[in-house]
Every structure is written in C-alpha cells, then in structure tokens.
Copies of this chain bind each other. A is one copy, B any other.
Amino acid sequence: MKVLIIGGVAGGATTAARLRRIQEDAEIVIFERGGYISYANCGLPYYIGDVIQDRDRLFVQTPESFRENLNIDVRIRSEVTSIDPESKHISVKNLETGEEYRESYDKLVLSPGAEPVKPPIPGIQSEGIFTLRSVPETDAIKTFVEEHNPRKAVIVGAGFIGLEMAENLHEKGLYVTIVEMAQQVMNVVDYEMAAQVHQHLKTKDVEFYLQDGVSNFSRQKGADGQERIIITLQSGRTIETDMVILSIGVRPESRLARDCGIETGETGGIKVNSHLETSEKDIYAVGDAIEFINPITKQPTITYLAGPANKQGRICADNIVFGNQKEYRGSISTAIAKVFDITVASTGASEKTLNKHRIPYHSIITHGSSHAGYYPNAMPVTIKTLFSKDEGRVLGAQIIGYEGVDKRIDMIAAVIRQEGSVQDLMELEHAYAPPYSSAKDPVNIAGFVAENILTGRSRHIHWNEVAAGCNPDEMQLVDVRTPEEYQLGSIDGAVNIPVYEVRSRLGELDRNKTIIVFCGVGLRAYQAERILRQNGFEDVFNLSGGYKTYEYAAQ
C-alpha cells in the first residue's frame, strides 16, 4: 500500500507515525511545502519570548529521523499543486528546483493546516508586520526583535495566540498594545469572563483597544529620525509602534482540495465523514483544515487545535489500514492559554455560540478556590457552566484562575465528552487532600448550583440584566454581605441585609417585588434566597457570580 500525506506537522506526522507502526511494509511519503516537519507550533510564542531557549527543542522529529527511524520518505519544500482523485495521482512541485512531477497513491491524507488571515489593509505588507504560523515566520520575528531592539509592539487580534505573543513580547521588555475588533479579548469565552482578563492585562501594563480595528498601516520617521509603523484605527486613533503581530485569525488551507473537486463546507473546511474520509474515495483529511459536525451544536465546525489534529491522525491511519472501522466523534474544542499569571480555558460551547444556534441553556458562574482555603496559597477560580434546560446536559464551561484551571476544564471536558449532565459534575469523585482541592471541588459545586437551578430551588439573574437597570418600583436589590463589605462598594440602589439577619428582617422586604439577592460570589445570596423562598417570597433571584462578576463585567 502506498500512502501519500500532504502536510508534515501535527496531523500529517502523527498519521505517518501511526501508519508505520501498524503497517510495516506500507510505502509512506510526506510532502511538506515548508522546510520543517513535526515541529511544535504551540511552542513558537515561547521560543520568541526566550522561555524556550533552544531552537532545536521545537523539532520533535526531522526529515532524517523520520527516514531513519520510521522508514518514511519525507520531501520538504515540496508543494502539492493538484490532486486527481480519478487517476489517484497528485502533482508535486519541488520548490527548490522548480521541477514538477506526479506521484500515484492508494490512499491520500490531507493535513494542510490553516493559514493566517491577512485582510487587504493598506500597508499590511510593510516591514515590521508579522504573522506567526510557521518556523520561518518565527525566525523572522525573533531576528527582528534581536536586531532592531524594538521598544513597542502592537498585537492585532486578541485570541489565544495573540495573548501568548503579548505576554512573551512583554516579558522581553516591549511595551505591548492590543487592538481587537470585538468588545473583548479571547472570543471563545464570554464577555464577563474575558472582563477578568481585561483586568489582569491592566495590572500588567498592557494597553488594549477593544471594538476597534486597523484601517491602515504606514511607516513614518519619528522625531528621533527612526522609522516607525503608524497604525490608524477605524476609530481614528493612531498608534506608533516598532512592530506588529497580526493574529486576526486563521482559515483552513482548503483551496487545493476545493480546486481539485474535494467538497468543502460552509465553514470553508474540507468536509469529512465520521471516518475522516473526504467526499473522494481513498482521500482522508485531518487537522485544522477539516470541517466536522460539532457534537454539541450539531453544526459544521472547524477546530484549530493540536490535540484533535493528533487524535484524528491516529484514527485516520487506523481507518486506512484496517478499513474505516473507527469513528471520529468530533471535537468539543477544549482550549487553554496562559495569560501572564492567569490561565484561561474553555470547553464545549460558549453562551455566544449557544445563542447563535438558538440552543436553550442555563448559565451559572461560581467562584471557588484552587484548593482548601485553610491550606496556604489557595487561589480564586471562576467557573462558568452552561447546561441544557431539560436534562441538564453540560454544554460548555469556561474557567479562569491562577492555579488548577487546567484540571477543572479537563474534568468538565471529560463529562461533556461522555455526554454527561450536571448530575455527573456533582458526582465527580476528584482527588482531595488539602494541597489539591476541597472536599467538594469547585466543579462539584458548579454541579450543585446547576442542579438547584434545574430543580427550581434557585434562580439566577445575570450581571447584564442587573446592569441594564432595576426599576425600584418592581425590584429590590439586596446585598447580603456584611456591613463592612457593603461599605466598600455595592450595586447602586441595593439595601444591605446581612445573610444571617435575613430571617429576622423579613419585614423589611416587599413581597410584591422581585427581589434580587447578591453577595460576594453567590453562596450567601443562595442561602438568603432559600430563606426568602421558604418564607413566602416567590420572586427571588440570585445574582450569578455575585458582586465579583458584576464588578468585573459592569465597569
């Protein structure tokens, strides 16, 4: 069997390696347009930031090691220019010699990845403006920083990679400004979660402009005679900078496939069935370039993540050798990034996505601790949990904190992956000793709170509904924290009845109004809510995530 693979990094290299292990005598050829295979894309920002110091560490395998160790024929600087599914041939261009040739296949695997979006903004080709996807681009950025000693950098686009670059350039001593079209950074999480990131960026002296885009780049000599980049934003604001990283987003590298008659979908990705086969027989596709059905929204989706690419590679290899036995069940897009001292993670669908697809959901925010509060150095962890209104199926989660974020997102991802419900979150039997968690992990607590919503024992109201304004004739805001906490700042119009006085001060509340109780994080307000509900107050809501979330989001 002769298998050709287009693209030699995450999806391609993994497919090849697994193929070799299960089919010792297959002929396997990898075609890679660039000069490198099997490198750590995800490490590139950290190499630029000198966190990873040794460039060689970025290369997990090389063409030589693949040949020697796995008996795989790797052809770098070789671009596949067309595919002929009829005759089962591809055309390849040797980018060094310019020579073109054809190669036949029994099975073909496409893992061409994604390409950075570079909109036709005037001046976008200027010197000092970079995208970051490949090793040469990385080298270019690193060389620029070392040779030009820039003092300022602008990051356009505040996704995960943009923020990683913000951190790494900041750590190298640059003054970093972020420009983002949306009203928030990190679009995969929802606004009130991103608001915590905004706050954190401020403490790091990273400047950011939201809801603003670049209308034009130009180069100009400054007062000191040095040429700089001038960015004019759509708002009219101008920013002077020494360098720019464009990380506006990526799109699937699906042109080759489409041009050769392989079906692509509405997202632009290459359509695959559950066996990762494309519309053409014997042609498979994996990685950033594919479109699959999202298991939560049931909509066509692309996911630009290394974990799924690697896992798909292994499934694809198995299906090629053993004959389409394995199903790919889609990705739930679990993602994570370190943003300076905090970690931001998400899994499943966000509230934005659920709204977009009109999927009904409940949403809750809970704040907890990375481990037992009585053990030193416990750090706050905020969890947003989204779940279905009927059976409480977990639809998504977002977590932000200083420690233990990765483990909680993984726990929830495990539940979502198995189509579990908030019941499963409650029952998760995590490992508990004081340095690691609490007897009830914050994920269990999220489950409890969700169950209380599902059973009607608690009702949440969200920060934006409260921030939109409460008519005092109809609504009563009750801050159930201590008088000291209340003094330090509360929501306009709120009265203060500490939770433990609620029982004795029922008379101060109006049974005919909607009562919104809140505390710091939601726990005491829930207790107050329970007392009120059981004392005949019908219309009581708990402010989800408490004053903490409100303060972050409403400011």
The interface of chain A, by Cβ under 8 A from chain B, is 10, 21-25, 40, 42-43, 46, 51-52, 57-58, 60, 68-69, 71, 160, 164, 305-311, 314, 329, 331-338, 343, 345, 347, 372-376, 404, 406-407, 409-411, 413-415, 417-418, 420, 424, 426-437, 439-441, 444, 448, 457, 499-500, 503, 526-527, 530-531, 534-535
Contact = CB atoms under 8 A, between A and B. Distances in A.
17 contacts: A10-B439, A21-B530, A42-B372, A43-B374, A57-B373, A60-B374, A69-B527, A305-B432, A306-B439, A307-B444, A333-B429, A334-B429, A334-B430, A337-B433, A406-B430, A407-B410, A417-B424
B439 A414 contact: no
Contacts of A51: 375-376
Contact of A310 (B404, B439, B526): B439
A337 B376 CA distance: 16
Given A376-B52, A417-B424, A535-B24, A347 B431 contact: yes
Contacts of A448: 314
A375 B46 contact: yes
Contacts of A22: 457, 530
A427 B329 contact: yes
A417 B439 contact: no
Given A43-B375, A68-B500, A375-B46, A424 B418 contact: yes
Contacts of A334: 429-432
Nearest to A25: B534
A431 B413 contact: yes
Contacts of A374: 40, 43, 52, 57-58, 60
Contacts of A431: 334-336, 345, 347, 406, 409-410, 413
Most chain-B Cβ atoms within 10 A of its Cβ — which of A69, A314, A435, A527? A435
A527 B61 CA distance: 15
A73 to B, nearest CB: 15
Given A374-B58, A500-B68, A432 B42 contact: yes
A544 to B, nearest CB: 18
Contacts of A329: 427
Contacts of A404: 406-407
B42 A433 contact: yes
Nearest to A457: B22
A399 to B, nearest CB: 9
Contacts of A69: 499-500, 527
Contacts of A424: 414, 417-418
A373 B42 CA distance: 12
Given A58-B374, A338-B436, A413-B431, 9 more contacts: A24-B531, A42-B432, A42-B434, A43-B374, A160-B433, A307-B441, A338-B435, A406-B436, A418-B424
Nearest to A426: B311
Contact of A430 (B24, B338, B410): B410
A-B interface, 4 closest residue pairs, ranked by CB to CB distance from nearest: A407-B407, A336-B431, A24-B534, A414-B414
A149 to B, nearest CB: 25
Nearest to A535: B24
A435 B51 CA distance: 11
Given A22-B457, A71-B503, A407-B407, A307 B42 contact: no
Contacts of A160: 433
A372 B40 contact: yes
Contacts of A333: 429
Contacts of A409: 431
A432 B311 CA distance: 13
A407 B23 CA distance: 35
Contacts of A444: 307, 311
Contacts of A500: 68-69
A411 B534 CA distance: 38
Nearest to A430: B410
Of the candidates A57, A307, A374, A534, the one having the most CB atoms from chain B within 10 angstroms of its own CB is A374
Contacts of A336: 431-433, 436
Contacts of A57: 373-374
Contacts of A415: 414, 418
Nearest to A399: B431
A74 to B, nearest CB: 15
Contacts of A40: 372, 374, 434
Given A372-B43, A375-B52, A414-B428, A433 B338 contact: yes
Nearest to A448: B314
